[in-house]
């Protein structure tokens, strides 16, 4: 059975024995706001990660393919700018294909340090890469790259630290989070450190909307999996048949917004609380900001980074930007 054919989790009324308190309080707080919202970091449970993997292969979802093409084309030049014997720190590791493109191109890199909140996931990544790259020391860092991380001091023995933040994940952050990320990365990577960021670019909604609302319904399933996860893990009773996925282009804020819209007036309950929905009322689940090159550069420059080089595909769909 393919990941797409697997039935969604339906109604679950029994409260699970073990509850992630942080997940629970995030969900309760988000659903209590006037504009209901759910923080996007909860998308990525096992099922969510599988669905996101499927999204990256969709014909409409141009970012992953385009970024990989740009990285393939610019890898040697990037490697020349980074220099030999670097420690590469990847924020939000998981983009194994892109990681390999860089590790293959870099000159005798010393360390690879993927950062992720999932210890089990990191173990898998590090084990796979260790087999393929026996000369590179794997130093997985368990943590949230939005909070302060302990970067192992031995990484300072590398010639230089090179941060890698692919996938336009930067576009899923708020302005404040972007600024905090740039400032922290400056501290973690050092004054001579460099940072390579994959950032999606502004373009016509005719291209953007299908990328976030594909014809096979995979993005819809990905978005709705958040409700299924709340049902599974927090004993919620969301009826997945009565919510619809919606992708909206917000031009003023230059972002795609993902929503789950209640098809009818209804109430749901979870953890002993009930939440009312008007027909057509939405839960805001994700922002995917689209940048202009100067826009991202000026955010970076405000936080102590200098633009070094920008690579784009010929259609200017996506950018890979290097800062130093
Ligand atoms: N970083 C990805 C992006 O913004 C994440 C993503 C792709 C996503 N498709 C999604 C997040 C659908 C939520 C829903 O493009």
Distance 19 CA to ligand 1 centre (A): 26
Does 94 lie in the same domain as 174?
A: yes
Which of ligand 1's atoms lies nearest the C-alpha of 55?
9
What are 215's two structure tokens? 């014809």
Which of ligand 1's atoms lies nearest the C-alpha of 288?
4
Task: Return the CA Rg of the chain.
Answer: 20
Distance 134 CA to ligand 1 centre (A): 33
Does 150 lie in the same domain as 67?
A: yes
Does 156 lie in the same domain as 116?
A: yes
Whether residue 187 is contained in a domain is answered as yes
Beta bridge mates, 320 = 198, 311
Whether residue 97 is contained in a domain is answered as yes
Does 167 lie in the same domain as 45?
A: no
Q: Which of 238, 223, 221, 264 is nearest to 12 (CA)?
A: 238
Whether residue 189 is contained in a domain is answered as yes
Q: Which residue, judged by its Cα, is nearest atom 15 of ligand 1? A: 288
Does 50 lie in the same domain as 39?
A: yes
Whether residue 113 is contained in a domain is answered as yes
Does 178 lie in the same domain as 283?
A: no
Beta bridge mates, 277 = 266
Whether residue 3 is contained in a domain is answered as no
Does 135 lie in the same domain as 38?
A: no
Cβ-count burial 97-134 (b if 16+ within 10 Å, e if not): ebbebbbebbeebbbbbbbbebeebbeebbeebeeebe
What's the CATH number where 195 sits? 3.40.50.150
Residue 151 CB partners (closer than 8 Å, separation 6+) = 89, 113, 141, 161, 188
Distance 124 CA to ligand 1 centre (A): 23
Which protein residues touch ligand 1 with a CB less than 6 Å away? Answer: 55, 63, 167-169, 171-172, 212, 219, 222-223, 258, 286, 288
Domain region containing 241: 28-60+206-289
Cα–chain center distance at 132:
25
Domain count, the chain: 2
Which of ligand 1's atoms lies nearest the C-alpha of 172?
4
Which of ligand 1's atoms lies nearest the C-alpha of 167?
1
CB distance 293 to 321 below 8 Å: yes
Does 212 lie in the same domain as 176?
A: no
Mutate to test the pocket of ligand 1, among 47, 55, 57, 197 (most ligand atoms within 8 A of CB): 55
State the Cα torsion 180-292-221-237 to the nearest 10°: 40
- Give the chain's residues under pLDDT 50: 1-10, 12
Does 273 lie in the same domain as 149?
A: no
Diameter over CA atoms, the chain? 60
Whether residue 19 is contained in a domain is answered as no
CB distance 199 to 319 below 8 Å: yes
Predicted local distance difference test score (pLDDT) of residue 95:
62
Q: What does the pLDDT look like over 169-222, one tens digit per residue?
A: 999 999 999 999 999 999 999 999 999 999 999 999 999 999 999 999 999 999
Which of ligand 1's atoms lies nearest the C-alpha of 258?
14
Instruction: Mark residue 167 as left, alpha or beta (left: phi above 0; alpha: psi -120 to 50; beta: remaining).
Output: left
């Amino acid at each position: 059975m393919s990941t797409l054919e697997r039935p969604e989790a339906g109604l679950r009324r029994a409260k699970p024995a073990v509850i992630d308190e942080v997940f629970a309080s995030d969900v309760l707080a988000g659903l209590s706001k006037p504009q209901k919202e759910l923080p996007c970091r909860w998308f990525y449970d096992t099922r969510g990660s599988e669905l996101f993997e499927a999204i990256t292969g969709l014909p409409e979802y141009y970012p992953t393919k385009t970024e990989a093409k740009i990285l393939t084309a610019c890898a040697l030049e990037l490697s020349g700018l980074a220099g030999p014997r670097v420690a590469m720190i990847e924020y939000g590791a998981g983009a194994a294909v892109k990681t390999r493109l860089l590790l293959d191109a870099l000159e005798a890199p010393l360390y690879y340090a993927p950062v992720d909140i999932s210890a089990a996931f990191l173990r898998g990544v590090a084990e796979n890469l260790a087999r393929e790259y026996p000369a590179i020391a794997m130093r997985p860092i368990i943590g949230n790259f939005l909070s302060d991380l302990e970067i192992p001091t031995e990484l300072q023995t590398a010639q230089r630290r090179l941060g890698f933040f692919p996938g336009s994940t930067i576009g899923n952050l708020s302005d404040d989070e972007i600024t905090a990320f740039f400032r922290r990365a400056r501290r973690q990577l050092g004054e001579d450190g460099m940072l390579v960021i994959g950032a999606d670019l502004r373009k016509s909604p005719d291209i953007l909307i299908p990328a976030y609302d594909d014809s096979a319904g995979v993005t819809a399933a990905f978005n709705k999996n958040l409700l299924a996860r709340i049902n599974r893990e927090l004993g919620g009773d969301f009826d997945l048949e009565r919510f619809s996925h919606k992708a909206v282009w917000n031009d003023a804020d230059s972002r795609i917004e993902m929503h789950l819209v209640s098809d009818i007036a209804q109430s749901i309950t979870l953890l002993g609380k009930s939440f009312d929905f008007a027909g057509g009322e939405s839960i805001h689940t994700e922002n995917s900001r689209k940048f202009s090159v100067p826009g991202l550069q000026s955010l970076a420059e405000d936080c102590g980074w200098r633009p070094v080089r920008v690579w784009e595909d010929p259609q200017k769909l996506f950018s890979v930007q290097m800062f130093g």
